[in-house]
Structure 1
Amino acid sequence: MNILDNWRKRHGGGQSTPLASAAGSDPEGVAELLSECALLRVRAGQDGLQLDDSPASLEALDQLPPRWRDDPEELPWLGNDAGLYLGTVIVRTVPGAAWHIWPGGHPVVRLVSGREIRVVEAGLDWAVTGAPELSQVYAEAAEA
């Protein structure tokens, strides 16, 4: 059972409940789902870092040694979680920022200006290459 199945189960939806539809009817539930980032939270915890959904935690993540790059199977999952965590921090701390789910279930963060940040792609790039830093993407969103 994956994270989406768990969310559907908790929110009474069947297998056919699309995430995009749920975003409109239950934005808090979708935000909860997207903020879980279990793998990232576990790996950060192993390095003594407690992720508290703050901009400072993004800076701390940027400083972690990238041990996940040694595991090609884990790398994309951790990058995905990093992107969702980045989005979570933006949504919780940047006024007016909100999750937006594209058709097909692709989550992005939409700022008040209408600009959309592809946080999952940013997280994957960060996990693979270290750039852009998560804190840098956050700073750009906070300034927009």
Structure 2
Amino acid sequence: MEKPVPGHRLGRRTSTRRPDGAPAPEQERERAMAGMYAECGLLRELADSSGVSLDDTVDSLTDLDQLLPRWRDDPQVSQWLGTDAGLYLGTVIRRQVDGAHWELAPDGRPLMVLRTGFELDVTALGRGWAEQGSPQLSAIYLAASDG
């Protein structure tokens, strides 16, 4: 059985609009997912208490990378925080990288899909950041923005 990887390439797909010009149901679902994933409550709480502004920019990812990882003392907090960090990373990529969008993997994991079809398992990447400090969130963003 194939091990899940943080990123892989999918076939390209085209977005469609309904004949009346309204977004297709798939696009509406993606927008709803984006709003839900952008909440990142635990991460926003940590950022606020640390003086970091989560403004959906690569600078905010760099600021998160610079935080002292005090949360690593509690594995449960690390896991939740890592998931939030991954969802925030995906939110920044979606808002800043042209053509990036959310999709759900067959097992329900949220994936950030780049215009090239490359998928990022952002929650796995975020958990790696929270638990080990790597990969850095800003480095993942820069790789995604390069295509």
Partners of 1:23 and 1:30 within 8 A in 2: no
Who is 1:129 aligned against?
Answer: 132
1:70 alignment partner AA: D
User: Pairwise CA RMSD of aligned residues?
Assistant: 1.3
Higher Rg of the two aligned structures: 2
Identity %: 47
Alpha-carbon separation, structure 2, partners of 1:50 and 1:40: 11
Asked if 1:90 corresponds to 2:89, the answer is no
Asked if 1:27 corresponds to 2:21, the answer is no
Could you tell me which of 116, 119, 141 is aligned with 1:138?
Answer: 141
Q: Give the Å deviation of 1:112.
A: 0.6
Deviations 1:70-126 (A, max 9, x none): 122211000000000000000000000000111232101111101001111110000
Partners of 2:30 and 2:103 within 8 A in 1: no
Asked if 1:107 corresponds to 2:110, the answer is yes
Q: Give the Å deviation of 1:26.
A: 2.2
Normalised by the size of structure 1, how large is the TM-score? Answer: 0.81
Q: Which is helix-richer, 1 or 2?
A: 1
Unaligned ranges ≥5, structure 1: 1-21
Structure 1 moving runs of 4+ over 2 Å: 22-26
Q: Give the Å deviation of 1:131.
A: 0.6
Asked if 1:41 corresponds to 2:44, the answer is yes
Asked if 1:55 corresponds to 2:55, the answer is no
Alpha-carbon separation, structure 1, partners of 2:138 and 2:26: 26
Unaligned ranges ≥5, structure 2: 1-24
Partners of 1:39 and 1:78 within 8 A in 2: yes
Name the SS of the counterpart of 1:84 in structure 2: helix
